[in-house]
Structure 1
Amino acid sequence: MVHRARRRPSRRQLCHAGLTASSLMLAVPAALAQAVSPPASPASAAGVLQTVTVTAERRTENIKDVPSSVSTLSGEKLDVLTSGGQDIRLLSGRVPSLNIESSFGRAFPRFYIRGYGNPDFRANASQPVSLVYDDVVLESPLLKGFPIFDLSRVEVLAGPQGSLFGRNTPGGVVKLDSVAPEIGAVDGYGSLSYGTFGTANVEAAKSFAFGSAWAARVSMLYQHRDDWVNNTHAPGPTRRTEGYDDRAARIQLLYKPGSDFSALFNAHGRSLDGSARVFRANIIKKGTNDLVDGFEPNEFSTDGRNEQRITSYGGSARLRWIFGDYALNSITGIESVHTYSRGDIDGGYGASFAPPSGPGFIPFPSETAGALHGHRQVTQEFRVESRYAAPLNWQAGVYYFNEKFISDSYGYNSLGGGAQTSLLTDTQKSTSWAAFGSLKYDLTPALSMRAGLRYTKDKKELVSNAAAIPLGSQVNGTSAELSDSKPSGDISVLYKLSPATNVYARIATGYRGSSVQPAGLFGPQSIAGQEDTVSYEAGIKSDLFDKRARVSFNVFHYDVKNLQLTEVGGGGNSNTLKVAKKATGQGFELNLDAYATPNLLLTASASYNATKIKDPNLVVAGCGGGCTVTNPSNGAGSFFIDGNALPNAPKWIATVTGRYAIPTASGGEWFVYTDWSYRSKVNFFLYESVEFTGKAYTEGGLRIGYLWNDGKYEVAAFARNITNKVVATGGIDFNNLTGFINDPRTLGLQFKTQF
């Protein structure tokens, strides 16, 4: 069945989406979208920064009192970033040291903190940066693309989190917290935005109160974009692409009969019908990292099919009992995701041996798809914490993780009408359990110490089978059983120089369990053993000028032993695990918020990350063709990568925002908000080459609007990627200079209301 082009929604369709939201929220006006920031408090209106609280150490604390690098996004900052209909990748570069990329479009985001991540695209890939959504870890990269909406805050915890979060967190944690229902609260919001390419957002949330012990909150999101990229090759099964319909909803129910017990239940789901990433053959100019002359972002040429579907759903129960000086917490989570994503990997049409073909050199056709089904993730944590009014407090608990899934990899013959030619099926089961504890001790009123320890036991089983593959003999019946056990933890000290200024130092360790890469058409199964990390960090956090400004600054260094790397593509067109004896990273991170005047709020953040692979004997295959590798060759088609930076690890990340308010005599407010982010150049692959080096990239946004009725209503015009800069943000090492690009400029209008 041909994948049909996505059409711009009519006014009737938009109204229908709004009515659906209305029935769901009961009181939401006809068509609403996008989160609304709460009205400015009297303190912030007077030009004084509000206290930022975080739960980075599983307790609610002032961010200044947490002895580690924690950056946050909330309120208007999040609202502005989501106005253009982007997915979770919008967080990339918005806080120090965070980079996010994907070769799957709105699915399968890959996170990097301090340059430390994993570009592996297989369904069973493990990442050293963990995503925790409403206290439940989302292990599968396909779960990590769940949309962000109705959030109270985003916390980015840099460096190993080996005691309180555990496995697969040596790079850090991205922590998302939804707005939770509260007893007696009946607030809500809603908004509608519409922009270029038919980009529409419908987002709304409503809290409900049921007597003195029950409360609920319902949140929903609908995002749409037209297919705006035209296929210039005819006949092609996919005529237009790069659009999407993305729907998500969350229902939370709170039971709190008194101060000693609470139960928060969460059910959520997502349905995405969209496009896989569009790969474009030979778009990089040889000898440079420029796009070819005459490149048109809204055109591509392919004889393959492009489609992507994701369905995910899950639930959690967070229970809390208070027994005097102690509290018992139980967090139960279950998640499931099902996907199918198909695209034309060669990025063009035909082949050199089957003309016509193009654009440029197409050595042979490659059209593939990946599917995940039978997925289930179950997690359970029990944690006891002390609540002493004393210098010593502690936490201790146990954790269990179980995941299983079936992953299918398909091959198709683009020259033969898209007929299926191969199927690889991998079944994986993973279990993990851990025991952990941490303590905080105030040695003096000014000096405190924290320490944590965790012991984790992991087990992973993989079985691979193949059908209709000429090389099936290297796949059928291959299997692997991996087992790891590892203690990890951290120790830190914090000293209060003054009531407004704290300094700290921290040493932390983390680890990533062993990984297995299934056998495929072009390579056998590969295995990489356990990866270990140790990090050193010191910093300062301070409120300045009577809380009109806030600054945090830290320096860090980390060492990774037996780093797991993924060799993708190359002359052998393989996807193989490699192990580097060592890798290092070091740098600094800075956050600054300040009211320059009572009506002008400025924020800035920056980070420097110098990463390096250290293994003089490690070689990887060079590009299949077309690129200029700058690493020394071993004389047999491979290249030494000792000294290279880690892939997708920019040295510099920086962002600045500014908001200027102009109050009116009628009590309203005009405002101008702008935000700009910068990311320096990156290597797309393990080897270094001129062509596959991503250009430095700056993206800006602008928002101009009016608030009235005490902030209850807002209307604004916005622009994302305001300079309309177009760059390659990733490449496909497929015997030609194939790549993919960033999102286009989006202009639009938005109306928001609170009730």
Structure 2
Amino acid sequence: MTIRSTAARFIGASTLAVAAFAAQPALAQEADASDAEEAADGQLNTIIVTANRREENLQDVAVSAATLDADTVRTIFDAGAEITALAARVPGLFVESSNGRAAPRFYIRGLGNTDFDLAASQPVSVVMDDVVMENVTLKSFPIFDVERIEVLRGPQGTLFGRNTPAGIVKIDTVKPGDEFAVDGSVSYGSFNSISADGGVTLPLAPGVVSLRLSGLWQQRDNWVDNGFTGEEDAYGAYSEVAGRAQLLITPGDRLSILGSYSIRDLDGQSTLFRANILGPGDNELNENYDRDTVFYDAGGRNDAAYKAEIATAKVDYEADFATFTSITSWANSEGRSRGDIDGGNLVTGPGFIPFPSDTQDSIDLEQFTQEVRIASASNGPVQWQVGGFYFDSEFDVTTIGFDFPPPVTVNHTNESWAVFGQVTGEITPALKLTGGLRYTEDEKAFAVTQTSFISGPGAQERSVKDERISWDLAAFYDVGADASVYARVASGFRAPTIQGRDVAFGSAPSIATSEKIMSYEAGFKSEFAGRSVRLNGAVYYYTIDDPQFTAVGGAGNLVQLVNADQGRGYGFELDSAFQITPDFLVTAGVSWNNTEIQDDTLAVGICFQCTVTDPTVVLSGNTRALVDGNPFPNAPEWIADVTARYAVPVGNSGEIFAFTDWAYQGKTNIFIYESAEFNTNNQIEGGLRVGYAKLDGTFEVAAFVRNILDADNVKGGIDFNNNTAFVNDPRVFGISARVSY
């Protein structure tokens, strides 16, 4: 499979035409030193974000945003967790997956997509080092050697393009610098869980050439028994290796070239589905549930294996009046995952299982992106940027049913391009206005490429195309030296989508037209009490025309795209931090979100055995649920997070510390219809680290526990032929060490 020649011509012309901003390791070091001084003085650290594609203080940006720093990310991943561990770690963000470590689904302010297929589109973009990770398998690329993670809430269509009506998760990794540096962490815990990541910066020619090498290794042994076969420790293992090499060349003060190459290799298992563990008649875990045991008669050991490569070249040139930027990237992802979908067996269940279900999906994908930007020099009353973007991807998805259905391969292509611009003007010393505009064209095509039992190659061909203008307008006003208010109006859209997995099961592909969002947001940014308290908040209201939903599963085991007539959501987010003393820091965040589907005729398929609470109708002999008034699927009503770190100095150079972090997920409806079984509420997970650290940050050793309460939390369901669900990871105890030089 190859990217079309237009992409190759575009990369050649664009890369030679423009250049990008040089990495500034000296500035990063100065910021680190400044943060240390601020903490010593009892002040909160300055938080830098790049919501406007340039580095700015979070307190100066007219957008609702939250960040996770490198230490917090490492703590979350101490026990070998993957990207879904980010769920509920900042207000408004939810992440889940029914595909193990391979294909996460992101939601911001309730907007997301429950589609489990490898061809699924999402209204939340993941952007890693300025490159969009469009496909769900790329979104799962391991997080390591991270500088920060930003969550930008609300439409980001002007600067980041289509498929961002909910927002983006922006991941920035550590870049090469002018000084030798080593940092890393390693942890060991229950189930022989190992997580190790780190990086080293090698200034090959100081000031001219620098190399950054970083890597990740995570693994866990099998720990779940198969109660049907009697095999002990049959499931739950994974082994994942990832690496990244970055070479920074700065031949002059104005020119910078940053090349990077990343790889991943995952050998693991699919999500462990568990048959009939809910209800019936309620959402409580019943006597069929045993965290340490499943009862499989199929699934081929639930094997999952994925590989990926990402190559990027960022070229920057800083002229007197503007900075020219080119970002070129190519990515490949391929892999497969198989599972016992019903979560049990026909003999012992548990519970009633009417027929077996054993399915494998695989993908072979290539993606190419090219972005060019021209941005004005900073520190002026007017700042602007203009640019263009090109996207091209092609992938095959193969579905195999063992017994049924026979192998079917479908091909998806997507080509998109856009031009955009943004300008920020200082109207008065206290007031600045920002406006942006983006024009996008997006085109997708679908066809069957491998003969199935119902169709031959070229059958079921579909194509969709749309062109849209996205825009935003924001006002930011300083009401004092450390307090500001802002208002933002933004539009955005998710491009039309084709879903063809049902071809394998004898049904035609489904199509959803573009969803269009209009969002209204007002907020405040504040720091007070000598900058020992930070309090940021926002309220929002949005409406969506033709929202895209996926009616997944049900008794027909279908994946059907549907457009509702309208949808709306409103709520608030609050982020806070309190430097109570120089040795005691508390952060807290909370969000409340109310969403509603507005379509009095939309009817979808329902589960096989669960207790549907929606009104139902019979259409063409099938019972369907009317979903008007339902919340969006997987849209938690409440999300809250709390962290606290307290330290006691030991001598002149060290401290004993305790760090705890907690996440709360409120009432959440799993599917587009409502039932007594498939919803969750009041889920809490927490962690604790206790250890010794050097005051200069060079060394830390700690004991930790993740999921400290050993909470059994349902994370999703399979509503095909019984009340199947899957749950969170168990409690893990361990030890860890971190170094930074």
TM-score (norm 1): 0.91
Give the alignment partner of residue 420 of structure 2, picking from 433, 436, 439.
436
Kindly state the Cα deviation for residue 708 of structure 1 after the two structures are TM-superposed.
Answer: 3.1
The letter of the residue matching 1:383 is R
Tell me the equivalent position of 1:12: none
Tell me which residue corresponds to 2:29: none
Following the alignment from structure 1 to structure 2, what is the Cα–Cα distance between the partners of residues 587 and 400? 34
Does the CA-based 8 Å contact 2:223-2:233 persist in structure 1? no
- Please give the secondary structure, in 2, of the residue aligned with 1:551: strand
**CA-CA distance at 1:499 after TM superposition:** 1.5
- Residue by residue over 1:89-148, the C-alpha shift from the partner in whole angstroms, topping out at 9 and shown as x without a partner, is 111101110000000111100000000000111222110000000000010001100111
**1:697 offset after TM fit, Å?**
0.6
1:572 Cα deviation after fit:
2.0
Whether contact under 8 Å (2:152, 2:168) holds in the other structure is yes
Determine the structure 2 residue equivalent to 1:621: 605
Provide the C-alpha distance between the structure 2 equivalents of 1:522 and 1:359, rounded to a whole number of angstroms.
29
Cα distance, 1:207–1:727 mapped onto 2, change above 3 Å = same
Q: For residues 460-539 of structure 1, what are the structure 2 equivalents within 5 Å?
A: 460-465=444-449, 467=451, 469=453, 472-473=454-455, 477-518=459-500, 519-539=503-523
CA distance in 2, matches of 1:431, 1:75: 35
Q: Is 2:377 the partner of 1:387? A: yes
Q: Which amino acid aligns with 1:289?
A: N
* Matching of residues 202-601 of structure 1 within 5 Å: 202-211=196-205, 212-234=207-229, 240-293=234-287, 295-304=289-298, 305=300, 306-350=302-346, 356-373=347-364, 375-387=365-377, 389-413=379-403, 422-465=406-449, 467=451, 469=453, 472-473=454-455, 477-518=459-500, 519-601=503-585
**1:96-245 matched pairs, under 5 angstroms:** 96-182=91-177, 184-211=178-205, 212-234=207-229, 240-245=234-239
State the distance in 2 between where 1:475 and 1:653 align: 47
**Alpha-carbon deviation of 1:190?**
2.6
Residues 494-518 of structure 1, C-alpha deviations (whole Å, 9 max, x = no match): 1110111111000000001111111
Distance in 2 (alpha carbons) for counterparts of 1:102 and 1:132: 19
Distance 1:264 1:317 in 2: 6
- Match of 2:136, SS state, is coil
Q: Residues 238-291 of structure 1, C-alpha deviation per residue, up to 9 Å, x if partnerless?
A: 971111001100111101122211111110000000000111111112111111
Judge conservation of contact 1:475–1:524 (CA < 8 Å) in 2.
no
The 3-state SS of whatever aligns with 1:89 is helix
Tell me: CA distance 1:624–1:502, structure 2 relative to 1, closer, same or farther (3 Å). same
Assess if the C-alpha contact under 8 Å between 1:102 and 1:109 holds in 2: yes
CA contact (8 A) 2:451 2:457 kept: no
Higher mean Cα deviation, 106-115 or 687-696?
A: 687-696
How far 1:695 moved relative to its partner?
3.1
Q: CA deviation at 1:520?
A: 3.2
Distance in structure 2 (CA, Å) of the matches to 1:476 and 1:328: 43
| Aligned match for 1:731, one of 693, 699, 717 | 717
* Amino acid corresponding to residue 610 of structure 1 in structure 2: N
Between stretches 396-405 and 662-671, larger displacement belongs to 662-671
Cα distance in 2 for residues equivalent to 1:642 and 1:122: 25
8 Å CA contact 1:346, 1:362 repeated in 2: yes
Partner of 2:82: 87
Contact 1:409–1:425 (CA<8 Å) still a contact in 2? yes
Distance 1:666 1:320 in 2: 44
Aligned residue for 1:328, secondary structure, equals strand
Contact 2:228 2:348 in 1 (8 A): no
Where 2:72 maps in the other structure, the secondary structure is helix
Check conservation: 1:441, 1:448, Cα contact below 8 A.
yes
Deviates most, 706-715 or 724-733: 706-715
Find the aligned partners of 2:142 and 2:378 in 1 and give their Cα distance.
Answer: 38
Deviation at 1:621, TM superposition (A): 1.5
CA distance 1:125–1:294, shift in 2 (3 Å): closer
- C-alpha contact (below 8 Å) 1:461/1:480 kept by paired residues: yes
- Correspondence 1:632-643 to 2 at 5 A: 632-636=615-619, 637-643=623-629
- CA–CA separation in structure 2 for the residues paired with 1:752 and 1:130: 31
Check the 8 A contact 2:176/2:212 in 1, yes or no: yes
Shift of 1:683: 1.0
Amino acid at match of 2:382: L
Q: Which amino acid aligns with 1:728?
A: V
Asked whether the equivalents of residues 710 and 731 of structure 2 are also in contact (C-alpha less than 8 Å), the reply is: yes
Residue 8 (structure 2) aligns with: none
Using the TM superposition, give the Cα deviation of residue 666 of structure 1 relative to its aligned residue in structure 2, in angstroms: 4.5
> CA offsets, 1:149-170, max 9 Å, x none?
1111000010101110011001
Select between 693-702 and 388-397 the one with higher mean Cα deviation. 388-397
Query: Partner letter of residue 534 of structure 1?
Result: M
Per the alignment, do residues 615 and 672 of structure 1 end up closer, same or farther by CA in structure 2, a change over 3 Å counting? same
Contact 1:451/1:490 (<8 A) preserved: yes
Q: Alpha-carbon deviations, 1:53-79, whole Å to 9, x = none?
A: 111100111111110111111032222
Paired with 2:210 and 2:201, the residues of 1 have a C-alpha distance of 7
- Alpha-carbon offset, residue 569 of structure 1: 1.6
SS in 2 for 1:64: helix
Select the residue among 645, 649, 655 that pairs with 1:663: 649
Q: Distance in 2 between matches of 1:646 and 1:709?
A: 46
What are the superposed Cα offsets for residues 679-706 of structure 1, whole Å, 9 maximum, x if unpaired?
0021111110011112321001110000
Distance 1:224 1:166, change over 3 A: same
Q: Find the aligned partners of 1:708 and 1:142 in 2 and give their Cα distance.
A: 39
| Residue 18 (structure 2) aligns with | none
Q: How many residues align structurally?
A: 702
Specify the alignment match of 2:697 in structure 1.
Answer: 711
- State the AA in 1 paired with 2:344: G
Write the distance in 1 (CA, Å) between the matches of 2:450 and 2:252: 57
Question: d(CA) in 1 for partners of 2:288 and 2:340?
Answer: 22
Aligned to 1:8: none
In 1, Cα distance between equivalents of 2:466 and 2:304: 35
Q: Which amino acid aligns with 1:562?
A: D
* Alignment gaps of 5+ in structure 2: 1-31
8 Å contact kept, 1:180–1:217: yes
Q: CA offsets, 1:702-744, max 9 Å, x none?
A: 1000013733221100011000011221110112111111111
Cα offsets for 1:478-509 (capped at 9, x unmatched): 11111110000100001110111111000000
The 1-side partners of 2:258 and 2:601 are apart by: 53
Following the alignment from structure 2 to structure 1, what is the Cα–Cα distance between the partners of residues 162 and 598? 24
Q: 1:110 to 1:38 in 2, by over 3 A?
A: farther
Give the direction of change, closer, same or farther, for the CA distance of 1:461–1:476 in structure 2 (3 Å limit). Answer: closer
Secondary structure of the equivalent of 1:163?
Answer: helix
CA contact (8 A) 1:475 1:520 kept: no
Give the Cα–Cα distance (whole angstroms) in 2 for the partners of residues 750 and 50 of structure 1: 25
CA distance in 1, matches of 2:441, 2:34: 47
- 1:551, CA displacement in angstroms? 1.0
